[in-house]
Structure 1
Amino acid sequence: MALAQTCTTLSPSFIDELLPSAQRVALLYNVSYLCLAEFPKLERMLRERAMETQILFASSEAILDKCERTSNNLVKHLFPMLRIAVEKNEAMLAVRYLERAKDWINKIINEVEDITKKYEEHCKDVSTTASDVITEKDNVDKEKEKWSKEKEAIKESLDKYKKDLKQVNDELSQIEQDLITKTNELSQHVRDVTAKDTGLGILGALAPFAGNIIHAIYKAATSPAAVAKTKDLETAIRTLTADKTSLRHREWNIQNEVVNWQMQYTKASIELGSIPSPEHLPEVQAHLSKICKILLALLRFWKTVDTMLDSLHQTTFANEDMIEYLQVVKEEFLTSITEATKVWKMFGEGCARANGVFYVQTKDAYQFLEVNTSSLSKQAWQVAHDAVMEKLMQIEPSSTPAITDGTSEQSTDP
């Protein structure tokens, strides 16, 4: 059966990874803003970038709201109407409902494409700002030839943690590559199995969530070899995912140490009259890129759903013998609609949480821009700095895999 030519790897709770990145972006902007308190020109540049990020988050909030509403429309309108059409063997009615869903999805695709382009351009602007700060810093530092012993000692510690961070990043890259390879192997295996089973094929077309399809493989009358291979691949992916989560936490702790030592280095530089390096802006750029990557994966997901609905339209409801065909697979179709309703409801709830993440960040997280940092006393500056650092240390990385290539939803063993 041609319904399950593609198996999308996706977790309905993909959105959880957005929260720590969005929070960290605002706090890193805040730290950078404090560090440039004595340099009005650079402070204004950073303010512009931060305000652009705030506006971008507001646009992201609107898109995630539309994703939530579309998911709710599928659950509350499309699937119930599709169920009625199948029960009554009204193929033309089902076609109209599918075309309506495709219209919803195409609108989302266009908007997500637009927002991801804006993120990519904004990341370039942040990089440019970091370069501008470095240029200005170099001009000032030409007059500063001597470094204090304290500053050198801080630099040694900072370099050590940067080296540790690079090592962890290298290990993470290797694990992520292994995870992609193993997940692709699992996806191909799922495609092979669903292609041979009508019921699994319908489920794959209506609910393209890897975990649900894998769980269905265990329950269906598939061969023992297929079940065994599925279990082996899932075990390997779980092991890699656990290693990745452990390394992510270690990476997060080292990043906090790097930020801490960078701040000490910055304070020593300020005392010497030197412009601090824009150490935090590359991390801002990295987290913005991570958010952009999640949105790009969301875009690919919606395009996959659009393709699957089109395939369902063409292969099932466009056949000359579709009435007879629907009668044969009616129960399987209705069961797939029930399962699809459950997972799309979860997906909509995830989008609602993401909407809340962007709303809070847009509304509250950038209030520090209203403060004139150059007017702060040393004591007030230290209080503000310590408050930001405390918040940074409290952020934990998400242990939930995002909706990216090579990430697999963990299903429950039968």
Structure 2
Amino acid sequence: MAQSKELVSTNEVWSPVFIEELLPCSQKVSLLYHLSYLCLGKFSNCERLLRMRALETQLLFGSSEAVLLKCSGTSQNLVSALFPMLKLAVEKNKPALAKNYLEKARTWIEEIIQDVNQIIERYDLLNKNVALSTLDIKAEKTEMEKKSTQLLQENEEITKTLKTLEEMLDETNEKLTEAEKSIGDKNLELQNLVKHSVSLSTQANKRFEQLSASVPFTGVTIECSSDLITSLAAVEKINTLRSEVIRLASEKATLSQKQWDVQVQIMDWQMKLAKQKIDQGSIPDQIHLGNVQHNLSIIQQIFNKLGKFWEKMHKSLGIIKDKTFVDEDFVEPDLKEGFLATIEKALEIWERFGSSCCKGVQIFRAQSRDAYRFLEFDPSSLSEEEWQKEYTRVKNQLREIKVFSGEYNSNQITQAE
């Protein structure tokens, strides 16, 4: 059977709880576009550029939905068809048939990898287009300010408040980085301890390697391998490390929420400055488009991790096929029972992954179909009262976004950075 070190690398392992980041980021993108749209409604060239980028994002979210739907379908096929057939083939001592099933799964995965790579390229292009649009709007703003004979001088207090909030955000970002590093260090220590403890038993080590190859999710692999460890001291230490990682993950969730709360306050004060410039007939600074880029980059990173995960799975299935079976026999006949047990665990874990993909589909579907309806009205047609009411509504939606649910368990705490 394939070696666990060969199959599972800490930097390549990915967690199926990506939904924790995907939901708030996708919500922020549409709401930040909405705020920018309100700011630029009186400036036709700028509004046209923003509308173009927002529509491009809406279409890309629709394509992202399709890719996650395919991931969900493939996961379901693994659960409902491939793994049961693979199990039956092993039980009936038909390794050649088992190899064919594994190769079929690899073909499905190859198609997903291609789709994910295309989505990643489109996110990269979109981010570049948003950056170019930001530069174009800045150029338009500079030209208008050259023609202006007066500039507002009433923003000194607002600027001071912004500086204080930005310093608070920098401090929170540093603490968040430290928390993420601590979580990574503890996860690595936990993973190495489990591997070492399992390796004390040859048969248990073989089953651990099988599970690592079949399901490269570190957290659930550790969870499912706990029953293979016989040393009470090792079990106690593993449980202590798990508790520490859960505590650190909870702290990270709190810091992440604080980070977003400060960002919302900063955006509120920035909007006060923007409103002053709009009232004067000057184009406001496009701070919201910078935040749009940031959140698009996070979503792109999620798809990067998704692509690496499927590449890892493609490689793992190939190694299982080559190192478990040879011609019409198992490489090691005594591993048959462990192999069947591994398939049972894989079924459970892939069901979780498929469920996460389904949630991702719903997130992108809601965003691509409903969240960009603000493009259907002309913001320049709003009265002062209507404009303020719409701005307050969107701001409150941003404020209500929860960056993390805060519900952590031993399966969720091992998401690779």
Same fold, judged at TM 0.5 (above): yes
| 1:372-413 alpha-carbon deviations (Å, 9 max, x no partner) | 1122221221122122112111111124699xxx96169xxx
Of residues 25, 32, 35, the one that matches 2:29 is 25
| 1:230-257 alpha-carbon deviations (Å, 9 max, x no partner) | 3344334223212211110110110110
> Could you tell me which amino acid in structure 1 is paired with residue 207 of structure 2?
G
Structure 1's 319 and 194: CA in aligned 2 closer, same or farther, altered over 3 A? farther
Aligned mates of 1:372, 1:106 — CA distance in 2 = 44
Task: Answer whether contact 2:61 2:368 (CA < 8 A) is retained.
Answer: yes
Of residues 347, 368, 371, the one that matches 2:374 is 368
Aligned mates of 2:406, 2:313 — CA distance in 1 = 22
Aligned mates of 1:230, 1:179 — CA distance in 2 = 15
Q: Partner residue of 1:207? A: 215
Q: Partner residue of 1:125? A: 129
Aligned mates of 2:123, 2:378 — CA distance in 1 = 28
CA-based RMSD of the aligned residues comes to 2.4
Which range moved further: 383-392 or 37-46?
383-392
Task: Answer whether contact 1:3 1:312 (CA < 8 A) is retained.
Answer: no
Q: Partner residue of 2:305? A: 297
Aligned mates of 2:70, 2:197 — CA distance in 1 = 34
Q: Partner residue of 2:120? A: 116
For the residue of structure 2 that corresponds to 1:205, the secondary structure is helix
Of residues 326, 330, 333, the one that matches 2:336 is 330
Shift of 1:192: 4.6
Q: Partner residue of 2:288? A: 280
Where structure 2 has 5 or more consecutive residues not aligned to the other structure, the ranges are: none
Of residues 17, 20, 23, the one that matches 1:16 is 20
Task: Answer whether contact 1:165 1:251 (CA < 8 A) is retained.
Answer: yes
For the residue of structure 2 that corresponds to 1:280, the secondary structure is helix
Aligned mates of 2:24, 2:292 — CA distance in 1 = 12
Q: Partner residue of 2:206? A: 198
Of residues 269, 283, 291, the one that matches 1:261 is 269
> Could you tell me which amino acid in structure 2 is paired with residue 33 of structure 1?
Y
Which range moved further: 329-338 or 220-229?
220-229
Q: Partner residue of 2:98? A: 94
Equivalent residues in 2 for 1:175-194, closer than 5 Å? 175-193=179-197
Task: Answer whether contact 1:16 1:354 (CA < 8 A) is retained.
Answer: no
Which range moved further: 56-65 or 195-204?
195-204
Q: Partner residue of 1:106? A: 110
Equivalent residues in 2 for 1:1-400, closer than 5 Å? 1-5=1-5, 6-7=7-8, 9-144=13-148, 147-148=151-152, 150-193=154-197, 197-224=205-232, 226-318=234-326, 322=330, 325-326=332-333, 328-399=334-405
Task: Answer whether contact 2:95 2:329 (CA < 8 A) is retained.
Answer: no
Task: Answer whether contact 1:4 1:194 (CA < 8 A) is retained.
Answer: no
Aligned mates of 1:343, 1:220 — CA distance in 2 = 18
For the residue of structure 2 that corresponds to 1:397, the secondary structure is coil
Aligned mates of 2:319, 2:368 — CA distance in 1 = 39
Which range moved further: 295-304 or 167-176?
167-176
> Could you tell me which amino acid in structure 1 is paired with residue 4 of structure 2?
A
Aligned mates of 1:4, 1:299 — CA distance in 2 = 21
Shift of 1:225: 5.3
Structure 1's 225 and 144: CA in aligned 2 closer, same or farther, altered over 3 A? farther
Aligned mates of 1:291, 1:119 — CA distance in 2 = 8
> Could you tell me which amino acid in structure 2 is paired with residue 329 of structure 1?
L
Structure 1's 221 and 174: CA in aligned 2 closer, same or farther, altered over 3 A? closer
Task: Answer whether contact 2:75 2:353 (CA < 8 A) is retained.
Answer: yes
For the residue of structure 1 that corresponds to 2:287, the secondary structure is coil
| 1:253-273 alpha-carbon deviations (Å, 9 max, x no partner) | 101101111111111111222
TM-score, with length taken from structure 1: 0.91
Shift of 1:145: 6.9
Shift of 1:224: 4.4
| 1:189-223 alpha-carbon deviations (Å, 9 max, x no partner) | 44555565111121222222222221233211344
Task: Answer whether contact 1:25 1:287 (CA < 8 A) is retained.
Answer: yes
Q: Give percent identity, aligned residues only.
A: 39
For the residue of structure 1 that corresponds to 2:155, the secondary structure is helix
Task: Answer whether contact 2:102 2:317 (CA < 8 A) is retained.
Answer: yes
Structure 1's 193 and 401: CA in aligned 2 closer, same or farther, altered over 3 A? farther
Aligned mates of 2:373, 2:132 — CA distance in 1 = 24
Task: Answer whether contact 2:179 2:248 (CA < 8 A) is retained.
Answer: yes
Aligned mates of 2:83, 2:252 — CA distance in 1 = 37
Shift of 1:64: 0.2
Aligned mates of 1:101, 1:401 — CA distance in 2 = 33
Kindly tell me the number of residue pairs found equivalent between the two proteins.
405
Aligned mates of 2:32, 2:229 — CA distance in 1 = 53
> Could you tell me which amino acid in structure 2 is paired with residue 382 of structure 1?
Q
For the residue of structure 2 that corresponds to 1:274, the secondary structure is coil
Which range moved further: 24-33 or 211-220?
211-220
Which range moved further: 373-382 or 299-308?
373-382
Task: Answer whether contact 1:31 1:385 (CA < 8 A) is retained.
Answer: yes
Where structure 1 has 5 or more consecutive residues not aligned to the other structure, the ranges are: none
Aligned mates of 2:220, 2:413 — CA distance in 1 = 15
Aligned mates of 1:258, 1:409 — CA distance in 2 = 29
Structure 1's 372 and 348: CA in aligned 2 closer, same or farther, altered over 3 A? same
Aligned mates of 1:340, 1:95 — CA distance in 2 = 17
